[in-house]
Structure 1
Amino acid sequence: MRAAALQLLIAAILALAAGSLLAGPVWLSPASVAGALADPQPNLAKLLIVEVRLPRLVLALMVGAILGLAGAVLQGLLRNPLAEPGLLGASSGASLGAVIAIYYGFAASAGLATPVFALAGALVAVGIAFALSRTGGTLSLILAGVAVSTLASAGVSLALNLAPNPFAAYEIVTWLMGSLADRSWDHVTLAAPFIAIGAALLALTARGLDALTLGERQAESLGVDVARLRLLALVGTAAGVGAATAVTGAVGFVGLIAPHLARPLVGHRPGAALAPSALIGAALVLAADVAVKIAGPALDLKLGVLIAVVGAPFFLWLVLRVRQVAP
């Protein structure tokens, strides 16, 4: 990765992090933030920063980083520039798990029931996709992921159709739009271990992804265990993306966009693109969350909606570009 690009990316993340701490319904000046944090006595500004804005900032960085990293790994593993974490059913499985928690009232009885059910749904969905494709190749994995994702999406639609009251349907739809609002350190504590484990597993695929560009047989001749590589990618995606979706709701396109922005910086090497993809993903989610804060509570713009509005045109451009360069 070019040193100048890396420095620029880190500077952008730091600037966005500062903006995230300052922006909100109550805007704070840098001087007031510094004074509040330096004051040993409890104060309202310090409480606002530490208990409200800081966990939201940490979640934005974690969620964006794992989505970007998972997208880079899956695009390298499947050798498909249109691959993204939702392709294997992790996002849809998490959505179905959250919907089950809301539909049956578990969310009302326990504050963290929704993310716990969502995480379990992601793990189950990816587990089923892996079980269906373990004797096949890359195409089998893609088809299994699409099948599981479609079934989970159908379950979500069925829950919306049979919602016992409009309030339950509204809560489901709101969660599905994705948001970092009203998140606390409890959500960080729940998601962080799974995201860390997922990121570690995905990082182990770097060498294998570089070899896989030559093809599966050639990669195996170089000593790469393709089955192990696929398992690392699947388990890492399930744990990391499942935990991210569990605490934010459905956030798409980050895992698709980030690797394409990172790859030119590293000479289009799949393994080398993992770290910059994570940084770019973190910057994208953090920038979108700052934009949501600036929009204000009156507009009530959701994080997932804003990213989709920006990501959909990029996806269309990517499809047209792939058509132009395809033989």
Structure 2
Amino acid sequence: MTRLMLSLSALIVLLFGVSLTVGPADVRLGDSLHALFSDDYGPLSLVMQEIRLPRSLLAALIGGGLGLCGAAMQGYLRNPLAEPGLIGVSSSAAFGAVLAINTGIAASATLGLPIAALSGALLGVFLVMTLAGPKGGSLTLILAGIAISAMAGALTSLVLNLSPNPFAANEIVFWMMGSLADRSMTHVFLLLPFLTVGAILVLSLGRGLDALTLGEDAADSLGINLKRLRLILVLGTASIVGGATAVAGAIGFIGLVVPHILRPLVGGQPSRLLWASALGGAVMLQMADIAVRVILPARDLKLGVVTALVGAPLFLHLIYKTRKELA
């Protein structure tokens, strides 16, 4: 376990350095790194400090948050097919962002889009918890999340369908593909409080998730308050996923694929998988963001498209493997 954590941490640092130095401009590695800490390089300093640094930070932070949430959701539901978007927060956040773009709020206010997305996420989690009720179990939570996700998706499609402005519709479509391009330190500072609070809440659930591997009755007999665990899980996941979606748009498959890959390496213990998946998610999203800039630098390939292209085949493999085990 220690070796795995050290390896993932070293890989994060390496990829962070690569991310800082990869871009369309043909600049030497030494000049890029010096420009990051000095204002003497003119436009290059501005590019490094205001464009590449925020993008690299967001890739690591958002990837880590999504990986962490995915491991927590799979541990709580005891299902390797679970992922953070299951409770409908990402769809609700996307709907809030789409409304901001369509109504012009995103264009008139610098933080109009992320704040609208966060408002949608908060509304979504409130509706999910209201529908699930204080005594509802994991199945009720899943059904409530699916219902809210479907409703938010339908409303998003309706707004897109009725949008009178083709430029707004085009911007909505591209935003929903997910991207870290053109983000600034303002977006990093906006994400940090939600990510920090959410990570603290989710990481505190390690003991309860370990007990849940024995079943809900056994966990209850061990003194685990399942209602409190569910509430903390939903709030923590909503905080991270809502913040990530508000800043970067819809980025899928990180929370689904990363815990599945790392689970055999931690012995299947949920508390260990939380930390490992956080580091693994940061690694995967950093690699995807670097690939976006390397594969088609002139075509603005979207980050969510790359993660889907990588994650979908792994997801299909997981379904096939699960079907064979149940046969």
**What is the Cα deviation at residue 37 of structure 1?**
4.1
CA distance in 1 between partners of 2:315 and 2:50 (Å) = 36
Mapping for residues 195-274 of structure 1, pairs under 5 Å: 195-274=195-274
Instruction: Report the residue type matching 2:65 in the other structure.
Output: I
Mapped to 1, the partners of 2:6 and 2:27 lie a distance apart of: 27
**1:104 counterpart residue number:** 103
After superposition, the C-alpha distances for 1:97-156 in whole angstroms (9 at most, x for unaligned) are 000111111111112111111111112112211111123211111011000000000011
Structure 2 distance, partners of 1:37, 1:57, is 12
1:92 to partner: Cα distance: 0.3
Alignment size in residue pairs: 326
Shift of residue 285 of structure 1? 0.6
- Alignment correspondent of 1:188: 188
Q: What's the Cα RMSD here?
A: 1.3
| Structure 2 residue matching 1:299: 3-state secondary structure | coil
User: How far does residue 40 in structure 1 lie from its aligned partner after superposition?
Assistant: 6.0
8 A contact 1:25–1:296 mirrored in 2? no
Contact (CA 8 Å) 2:220, 2:226: kept in 1 or not?
yes
Other structure's SS at 1:147 match: helix
Q: Indicate how the Cα distance of structure 1 residues 270 and 161 shifts in structure 2: closer, same or farther if over 3 A, else same.
A: same
Three-state SS of the structure 1 residue aligned to 2:264 is: helix
Residue equivalent to 1:159: 159
1: distance between equivalents of 2:282 and 2:4? 15
In the other structure, the counterpart of 2:32 is: 33
Distance 1:112 1:46 in 2: 24
Where does residue 294 of structure 2 map in the other structure? Answer: 294
Code of the residue aligned with 2:292 in structure 1: it is V
1:284 paired residue number: 284
1:90 corresponds in structure 2 to 89
> Corresponding residue for 1:168?
168
Letter in 2 for 1:104: T
1:216 maps to amino acid: E
Q: Distance in 2 between matches of 1:43 and 1:15?
A: 26
Identity of aligned residues (%): 52
Provide the C-alpha distance between the structure 2 equivalents of 1:75 and 1:250, rounded to a whole number of angstroms: 20
Letter in structure 2 aligned against 1:301: L
Distance change in 2, residues 1:106/1:5 (3 Å): same
- What is the distance in 2 between the residues matched to 1:234 and 1:22? 37
Greater CA deviation, 292-301 or 195-204? 292-301
Instruction: For 1:133, give the aligned amino acid.
Output: A
Cα distance in 2 for partners of 1:320, 1:40 equals 54
Q: 1:184-231: per-residue Cα shift (whole Å, max 9, x none)?
A: 011111111001101110011110000011111110110100000000
What does residue 120 of structure 2 align with? 121
User: Any idea what SS the aligned residue of 2:179 has?
Assistant: coil
5+ long unaligned stretches in structure 1: none
Runs of 4+ aligned structure 1 residues displaced above 6 Å come to: none
- Structure 1 residues 66 and 318, CA, compared in 2 at 3 Å: closer, same or farther? same
Moved more, 270-279 or 19-28: 19-28
The question of whether the paired residues in 1 share the 8 Å contact of 2:95 and 2:156 is answered with yes
- Distance change >3 Å, CA 37–CA 184, structure 1 → 2: closer
Aligned match of 2:303? 303
Tell me the equivalent position of 2:4. Answer: 5
Q: Say yes or no: does 1:69 pair with 2:80.
A: no
Residue deviations 1:81-106 (CA, integer Å, cap 9, x gap): 11001110011011000001111111
Output one character per residue of 1:229-264: Cα deviation in whole Å (capped at 9) or x when no partner.
000100001111100010000000000011112211
The alpha carbon displacement at 1:38 in A equals: 5.4
The match for 1:136 is 136
Aligned-pair CA distance for 1:300? 1.5
User: Residues 115 and 38 of structure 1: is their aligned pair in 2 closer, same or farther, counting only changes over 3 Å?
Assistant: closer
Bigger shift: 77-86 or 4-13? 4-13
Displacement of 1:44: 2.5
Tell me the alpha carbon deviations over residues 32-53 of structure 1, each in whole angstroms, 9 at most, x when there is no partner.
1233345463533222111110
What secondary structure, in the 3-state scheme, does the structure 2 residue paired with 1:272 have?
Answer: helix
**Partners of 2:191 and 2:90 in 1: CA distance:** 14
Instruction: Give the match's secondary structure for 1:298.
Output: coil
Does the 8 A contact of 1:75 with 1:82 survive in 2? yes
| TM-score (normalised: structure 2) | 0.97
| Cα separation, 1, equivalents of 2:38 and 2:275 | 37
Q: Is the 8 A contact 2:202 2:236 kept in 1?
A: yes
Structure 2 distance, partners of 1:255, 1:325, is: 22
Equivalents in 1 of 2:238, 2:33: separation in Å? 39
Q: Which residue number in structure 2 is paired with residue 48 of structure 1?
A: 47
